[in-house]
């Protein structure tokens, strides 16, 4: 079983890697064209609003509520019952999304005021953000339906297509930035049109795969459908339970709108860097284990449930810790290599690096939340993550107010990182206290081996990275080759050190015990 989960995680991570690489290309194109300007700030606010709703409602709350119920239907009922559930959930979801989309378009000025009140002092910037919110908001309709399709495919253990679908967002944004922007009076609006187009394309891409698994259904509406009521009952609490970090990032945007121009953009690029390992590994792992945990809960396999969580947490430590250290030590080289072109200045690199170093410190916490939350959602317990999420969000607000004064935008990033540990720590404590998760033997030895390998990796990276100033010089190719060499040397050192201290790949496969 563990081998199958590991292969599935690698497949999802591989497809996500393609998307993230194209995402970097997208960011390079956007940074080169718009830099850290007022127009860029306006777009990132406009995009963050529907994107936040996507992460909260579609990928977050909806997936965590729908997949466990669908997995239970598939494990205990005939196929036609699962199709009937999908049809009625699609009808209810579509109706809710249509209302939400219409409301978002109508209330766009108020949304921008709420999420970026600092823009009120700059009427042109505020108006531009409002226009782009109205263009991008229908994205939530299409991308949520795409996430619904992805949830069905994941429950059928068809992980590849849903993981590849986000590639289309990056391709649409790159295409619009390169070819549509030059012909518009407001070039930055091309990015907003690209977001809308991407939602349509992603949904269309997944529809044929639904047909392959026999789940392409016609939406239906019935108020008293038992499965729909269960999903709706779970979805409300799940809004907070899995997506607190996204709410915290939105609070960062709100406060950053009062800081110097560029602060929102600097935070955006920092977030993008942390999202790379989080998406390639953390979200991939969470996507794979949720259907597995849900199925094991439905069949009463408590020992296998705990073993799956233990296996996932070991992978978290093995990958998230070196990723954190790499981002912190190489913050300026990475940002300079990727974005130091056109309108993106050396000062933008420095400012973005400050927030990246702070935000990257929370990567282990961010990934931990992604992996631990399914331990609750798979058991259809959404209330506990809500309580924990509210506590974490309160901690983030307090930390924001404390840290923003001495550290400016980097203080906001650090507050989000610390709040992630509050969230993941309380989730872990709850699972252990309930007896749902019982750590398997060998954690101390495993942690010591990982620590020694990470020390060796950092020593090599620090020795090779050189001074920050050298990363602002040379051509794009020279910087990319230099960075690739340092990253490869650090990665090889880490893997060799793991083998040297006695950790073998077979141990990770056996660790799940399934």
Over residues 128-147, mean pLDDT:
90
Q: Return the structure tokens found at 41.
A: 């700030």
Judged by DSSP in three states, 236 sits in helix
If residue 190 lies in a helix (H) or strand (E), which one and from where to where? helix 189-212
Return the pLDDT at 165. Answer: 87
d(CA 459, CA 64): 40
DSSP at 472? G
Helices 263-277, 363-377: crossing angle, 10 deg rounding: 60
Which of the given ranges, 72-76, 261-265, 377-381, 449-453, has the highest pLDDT on average?
449-453
Please list the alpha-helical segments (H only) found in 107-188.
108-115, 123-136, 139-155, 160-164, 167-175
Question: How high does pLDDT run on average in the chain?
Answer: 86
182-190 long-range contacts, Cβ below 8 Å, gap at least 24? Answer: 186/39, 186/128, 186/131, 187/33, 187/34, 187/39, 188/34, 188/39, 188/40, 188/42, 188/43, 188/128, 188/132, 189/131, 189/132, 189/135
d(CA 208, CA 206): 6
Return the pLDDT at 476. Answer: 79
pLDDT at 225 over 90: no
Judged by DSSP in three states, 421 sits in helix
Q: How many CA atoms lie within 13 A of 187 on its CB side?
A: 15
Return the pLDDT at 60. Answer: 60
Lowest mean pLDDT among 43-52, 323-332, 367-376: 43-52
d(CA 107, CA 307): 47
pLDDT at 372 over 50: yes
Lowest mean pLDDT among 52-66, 75-89, 96-110, 280-294: 52-66
Return the pLDDT at 453. Answer: 97
Over residues 495-504, mean pLDDT:
92
Return the pLDDT at 431. Answer: 95
Q: What is the dihedral of CA 399, 400, 405, 406, to 10 degrees?
A: 50
Top pLDDT among 264 and 451 is at 451
pLDDT at 10 over 80: no
Top pLDDT among 300 and 449 is at 449
Return the pLDDT at 245. Answer: 58
Lowest mean pLDDT among 11-15, 268-272, 477-481: 11-15
Cβ atoms 308, 292 nearer than 8 A: yes
Over residues 197-201, mean pLDDT:
94
Q: Percentage of residues in the chain with pLDDT exceeding 90? A: 38
Over residues 61-89, mean pLDDT:
85
pLDDT at 270 over 60: yes
Q: Residue 109 CB: number of other CB atoms within 10 A?
A: 14
Top pLDDT among 307 and 31 is at 307
At 233-269, the pLDDT tens digits run: 777 676 665 556 566 666 777 888 888 888 888 988 8
Cβ atoms 114, 107 nearer than 8 A: no
Closest listed residue to residue 205, CA positions, set 274, 121, 146: 146
Closest listed residue to residue 299, CA positions, set 378, 212, 238, 231: 378
Return the pLDDT at 221. Answer: 85
d(CA 288, CA 13): 10
Q: Residue 214 CB: number of other CB atoms within 10 A?
A: 12
Return the pLDDT at 513. Answer: 41
Q: Return the structure tokens found at 319.
A: 């990958």
Angle at 419 between CA 417 and CA 421, to 5 degrees: 80
At 156-198, the pLDDT tens digits run: 888 888 888 888 988 999 999 889 988 888 888 999 999 999 9
Please list the alpha-helical segments (H only) found in 299-408.
302-329, 331-339, 346-360, 363-377, 383-407
Q: Residue 218 CB: number of other CB atoms within 10 A?
A: 7
d(CA 28, CA 37): 15
């Amino acid at each position: 079983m563990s081998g199958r989960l590991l292969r599935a995680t690698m497949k999802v991570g591989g497809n996500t890697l393609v998307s993230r690489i194209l995402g970097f290309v997208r960011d390079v194109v956007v940074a080169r064209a718009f830099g850290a300007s007022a127009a860029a700030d306006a777009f990132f606010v406009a995009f963050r609003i529907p994107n936040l709703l996507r992460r909260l409602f579609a990928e977050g709350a909806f997936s965590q509520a729908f997949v466990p119920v669908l997995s239970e239907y598939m494990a205990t009922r005939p196929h036609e019952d699962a199709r009937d559930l999908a049809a009625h959930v699609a009808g209810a979801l579509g109706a809710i999304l249509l209302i939400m989309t219409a409301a978002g378009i109508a209330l766009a000025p108020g949304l921008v005021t709420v999420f970026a009140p600092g823009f009120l002092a700059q009427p042109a910037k505020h108006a531009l953000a409002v226009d782009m919110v109205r263009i991008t908001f229908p994205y939530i309709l299409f991308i949520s339906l795409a996430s619904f399709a992805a949830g069905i495919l994941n429950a059928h253990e068809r992980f590849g297509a849903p993981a590849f679908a986000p590639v289309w967002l990056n391709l649409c944004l790159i295409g619009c930035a390169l070819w549509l922007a030059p012909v518009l009076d407001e070039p930055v609006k091309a990015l907003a049109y690209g977001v809308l187009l991407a939602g349509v394309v992603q949904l269309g891409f997944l529809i044929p795969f639904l047909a392959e698994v026999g789940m392409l259904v016609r939406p239906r509406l019935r108020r008293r459908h038992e499965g729909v009521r269960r999903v709706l009952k779970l979805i409300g609490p799940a809004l907070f339970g899995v997506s607190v970090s996204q709410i915290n990032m939105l609070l960062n945007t709100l406060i950053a709108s009062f800081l110097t121009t560029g602060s929102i953009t600097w935070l955006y690029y920092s977030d993008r860097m942390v999202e790379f390992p989080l998406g390639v590994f953390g979200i991939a792992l969470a996507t794979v284990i949720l259907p597995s945990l849900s199925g094991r809960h439905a069949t009463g396999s408590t020992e296998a449930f705990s073993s799956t969580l233990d296996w996932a947490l070991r992978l978290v430590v093995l990958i998230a810790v070196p990723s954190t250290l790499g981002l912190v030590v190489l913050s300026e080289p990475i940002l300079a290599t990727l974005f130091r072109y056109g309108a993106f200045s050396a000062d933008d690199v420095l400012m973005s690096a400050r927030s990246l170093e702070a935000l990257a410190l929370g990567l282990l916490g961010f990934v931990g939340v992604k992996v631990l939350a399914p331990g609750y959602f798979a058991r259809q317990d959404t209330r506990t993550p809500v309580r924990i999420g509210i506590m974490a969000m309160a901690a983030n607000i307090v930390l924001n107010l404390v840290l923003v004064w001495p550290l400016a935008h980097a203080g906001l990033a650090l507050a989000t990182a610390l709040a992630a540990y509050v969230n993941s720590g309380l989730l872990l404590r709850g699972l252990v206290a309930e007896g749902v998760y019982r750590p398997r033997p060998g954690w101390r030895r495993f942690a010591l081996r990982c620590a020694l390998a990470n020390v060796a990796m950092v020593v090599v990276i620090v020795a090779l990275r050189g001074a920050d100033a050298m990363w602002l010089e040379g051509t794009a190719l020279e910087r990319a080759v230099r960075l690739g060499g340092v990253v490869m040397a650090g990665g090889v050192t880490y893997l060799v050190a793991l083998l040297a201290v006695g950790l073998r790949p077979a141990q990770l496969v056996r660790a799940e015990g399934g």
